[in-house]
């Protein structure tokens, strides 16, 4: 097992020896972020084979993840050590925050062993620093107009460096903002605790910041630190929304005061918040820093992936998304021959107008094992299991254009041609990829009432 160390202030030089020359723009690799969010993520570091490895608790929960190893050359050779460390904690290996290059490196050196997925809500917005400093051209005209209105209305405004004597004012402004927007100030949230830790160790963390005052009143502040030698990360930006344009002017003024060596500015992710996404896009990022996660697949998941790709020809990214989000060995029936999975189907839990409903999904047979009744064998098992556990209904969507499948599935009590709409927290497409062809055959325990005209299926965790 790898010996990891908690992220401490005295570890900054060791960690930045790897991150500063790396060229990776991921905000999670900023030392100040690692340290200030320690109470949530419990980040720890180790040097493995010449690479810096950061291990943390995903979303502050029990699952552990490993940041993309940082160092020169291919990190593929240390993947087995990371896998062993994860297994020693009773978990599978999850590598988080992979760049495009990092993902391709794993694919090349460990082909077929991982599933990959990127979450748009967690991608960092990276801007050209000069764009934020000068707001050039027609596309930034709305921003310039915003600043002109602010300076006209508040001609006595001024920009000041964020110094320790202003920290309490900043915390008070943040609390007031949170009170207005979230209705509470009694308990420090995780972000407030991270800010408090940042202010307690501002210089030691290499942080720098700025403030906007109107007269004697603080109306905006921001601070951040370097991710690498040429990328600065804005960790926090807060403003009094009663002062229209305060966010726009603190953004520009702060960028103007950053050292010229910073050619890129990372303004972090939007967390899937629509308003925040619009605001970040309005500054026209140079690029979005992808943050892929790679999950090491168990043998049964690998078998599922191989058969799925063979049987359906779906995009590999789609299959990976299904495996990461919805696959469970408790919900799959399989048939194997000589250690190889040759047939499968998945029984996914949904709620519909009919009550507790099972979706029979991904019925597949390997080409070499077809026309031998394997799908029929699995369907009989599935319908018996569905009936025995007391489900109210079941449904499946026959492959569009394969009309013979309706007769085949009809043998197991499924009937009809009912439009179905899927609902899930993440919007995963459980259908055919075309809503017009998402038409279900249905089995019901109670057959006294007619089939519904349409079906809305909501995934149940």
* Per-residue pLDDT tens over the stretch 327-360: 999 999 999 999 999 999 999 999 999 999 999 9
Q: What is the CATH number of the domain that holds 407?
A: 3.40.630.30
Mean pLDDT confidence for 435-460? 93
Domain membership of residue 261 (yes or no) is yes
- Residue 402 counted as domain residue: yes
CB 291 within 8 A of CB 123: yes
As a whole number of angstroms, the distance between CA 332 and CA 112 comes to 20
pLDDT tens track for 261-293: 999 999 999 999 999 999 999 999 999 999 999
pLDDT above 80: residue 401: yes
Q: How far apart are CA 254 and CA 267, in angstroms?
A: 12
Q: What is the pTM for the complete model shown?
A: 0.89
Task: Pick left, alpha or beta for residue 347 (phi over 0 → left; psi -120 to 50 → alpha; otherwise beta).
Answer: beta
Tell me whether residue 273 is in a domain: no
Q: Are 96 and 129 members of one domain?
A: no
Residues 65 and 165 in one domain: no
Q: How far apart are CA 238 and CA 173, in angstroms?
A: 8
What pLDDT does residue 295 have?
Answer: 97
* The predicted structure's pLDDT at residue 313: 87
Q: At 51, phi and psi to the nearest 5?
A: -110, 145
Q: Let me know whether 223 and 320 are in one domain.
A: no
What's the CA gap between 387 and 347, in Å, rounded?
A: 13
Tell me the chain's radius of gyration from C-alpha atoms: 27
**Strands 415-423 and 355-365: what pairing?**
unpaired
Which pLDDT score, from 0 to 100, does residue 433 have?
Answer: 87
384 Cβ contact list (under 8 Å, min separation 6): none
pLDDT-derived band of residue 176, with 50, 70 and 90 as boundaries? confident
Please give the C-alpha separations between residue 178 and each of 38, 39, 415, in angstroms, as whole numbers: 22, 20, 54
| 45-101 per-position pLDDT tens digit | 999 999 999 999 998 899 999 999 999 999 999 999 999 999 999 999 999 999 999
Q: At a CB cut-off of 8 Å and minimum separation 6, what does 193 contact?
A: 39
- Among the candidates 252, 268, 284, a domain finishes at 268
Shared domain for 453 and 310, answered yes or no, is: yes
- Whether the per-residue pLDDT at 182 is higher than 70: the answer is no
Q: How confident is the model at residue 178 (pLDDT cuts 50, 70, 90)?
A: confident
- Domain identity same for 40 and 181: no
Phi/psi at 216 (5° precision)? -100, 5
State the DSSP string of 412-450: TT-EEEEEEEEE-TT----S-S-GGG-EEEEEES--SSP
Dist CA 304 CA 306 (whole Å): 6
pLDDT tens per residue, range 370-389: 999 999 999 999 999 999 99
Residue 95 lies in a domain: yes
- Evaluate whether 218 touches 211 at the Cβ level (below 8 Å): yes
Q: Is residue 198 part of a domain?
A: yes
Q: Which residue shows structure tokens 């030691």? A: 204
Do residues 268 and 233 lie in contact, with contact meaning Cβ atoms separated by under 8 Å? Answer: yes
Say yes or no to pLDDT of 186 above 70: no
pLDDT recorded at residue 3: 96
Q: In the predicted model, is pLDDT for residue 396 greater than 80?
A: yes
Q: Are residues 79 and 159 in the same domain?
A: no
Is residue 187 very low, low, confident or very high in pLDDT (cuts 50, 70, 90)?
low
Name the domain boundary from 69, 96, 123: 123
Same domain, 75 and 193: no
In a domain? residue 31: yes
Instruction: Answer for the pair 29, 19: CB distance below 8 angstroms, yes or no.
Output: yes
Q: Is-contact 222 254, C-beta < 8 A?
A: yes
Helix (H) or strand (E) holding 246: helix 246-257
425 domain residue, yes or no? yes
Give the pLDDT score at 188.
Answer: 61
The domain in which residue 322 lies consists of 298-459
Residues 118 and 158 in one domain: no
**Residue 218 shares a structural domain with residue 130:** yes
Pair 90, 10 in one domain? yes
Domain boundary among 123, 154, 170: 123
Q: Model confidence at 184, in pLDDT bands (50, 70, 90)?
A: low
Report the alpha-carbon angle 436-442-445, nearest 5: 155
CA distances from 237 to 7, 141, 191, 262, 313 (A): 24, 22, 12, 18, 46
User: What mean pLDDT is reported for the chain?
Assistant: 95
- Counting Cβ atoms within 10 Å, is residue 444 exposed (0-12), middle (13-18) or buried (19+)? buried
Tell me the per-residue pLDDT of 15-52, one tens digit each, with 9 for 90 and over: 999 999 999 999 999 999 999 999 999 999 999 999 99
Alpha helices in 55-202 (DSSP H): 79-88, 100-109, 129-134, 141-153, 167-182, 190-200
pLDDT tier at 1, thresholds 50, 70, 90: confident
Co-location of 142 and 94 in the same domain: no
Residue 121 to residue 277: CA distance in whole angstroms: 9
CA atoms within 13 A on the CB side of 98: 24
In a domain, 449, yes or no: yes
**Count of the separate structural domains present in the chain:** 3
Angle at which helices 299-312 and 316-325 pack, to 10 degrees?
140
Residue 244, CA atoms < 13 Å, CB-side half-sphere: 6
Average pLDDT over residues 124-149: 97
Q: Do residues 40 and 64 both lie within one domain?
A: yes
């Amino acid at each position: 097992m790898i010996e990891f160390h908690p992220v401490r202030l005295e570890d900054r030089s060791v960690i930045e020896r790897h991150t500063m020359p790396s060229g990776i723009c991921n905000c999670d690799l900023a030392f100040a972020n690692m340290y200030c969010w320690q109470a949530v993520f419990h980040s720890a570091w180790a040097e493995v084979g010449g690479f810096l490895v950061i291990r943390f608790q995903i979303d502050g929960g029990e699952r552990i993840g490993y940041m993309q190893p940082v160092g020169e050359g291919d990190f593929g050779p240390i993947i087995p050590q990371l896998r062993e460390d994860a297994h020693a904690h009773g978990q599978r290996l999850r590598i988080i925050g992979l760049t495009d290059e990092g993902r391709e490196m794993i694919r090349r050196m460990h082909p077929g062993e991982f599933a990959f997925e990127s979450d748009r809500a967690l991608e960092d917005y990276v801007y050209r620093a000069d764009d934020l400093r000068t707001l050039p051209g027609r596309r930034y005209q709305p921003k310039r107009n915003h600043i002109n209105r602010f300076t006209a209305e508040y001609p006595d405004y001024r920009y000041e460096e964020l110094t320790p004597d202003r920290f309490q004012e900043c915390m008070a402004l943040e609390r007031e903002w949170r009170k207005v927007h979230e209705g509470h100030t009694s308990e420090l949230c995780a972000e407030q605790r991270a800010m408090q830790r940042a202010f307690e160790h501002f210089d030691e963390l290499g942080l720098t910041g700025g403030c906007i005052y109107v007269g004697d009143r603080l109306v905006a502040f921001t601070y951040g630190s370097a991710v690498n030698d040429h990328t600065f990360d804005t960790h926090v930006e807060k403003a009094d929304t009663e002062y229209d344009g305060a966010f726009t002017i603190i953004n520009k003024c702060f960028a103007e005061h950053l050292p010229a060596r910073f050619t890129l500015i990372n303004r972090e992710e939007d967390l899937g918040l629509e308003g925040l996404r619009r605001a970040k896009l309005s500054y026209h990022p140079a690029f979005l820093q992808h943050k892929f996660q790679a999950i090491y697949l168990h043998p049964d998941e690998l078998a599922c992936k191989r058969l799925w790709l063979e049987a359906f020809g779906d995009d590999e990214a789609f299959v990976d998304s299904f495996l990461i989000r919805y696959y469970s060995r408790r919900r799959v029936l399989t048939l194997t021959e000589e250690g190889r999975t040759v047939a499968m189907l998945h029984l996914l839990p949904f709620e519909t107008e009919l009550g507790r409903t099972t979706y029979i999904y991904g019925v597949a047979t390997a080409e070499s094992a077809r026309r031998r009744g394997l799908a029929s064998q699995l369907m009989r098992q599935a319908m018996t299991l569905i009936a025995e556990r007391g489900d109210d209904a079941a449904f499946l969507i026959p492959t569009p254009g394969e009309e013979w499948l309706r007769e085949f599935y009809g043998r197991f009590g499924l009937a009809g041609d009912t439009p179905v709409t899927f609902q899930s927290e993440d919007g995963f497409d459980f259908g055919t990829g075309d809503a017009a062809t998402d038409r279900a055959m249905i089995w019901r325990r109670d057959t006294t009432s007619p089939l519904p005209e349409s079906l809305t299926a909501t995934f149940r965790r």
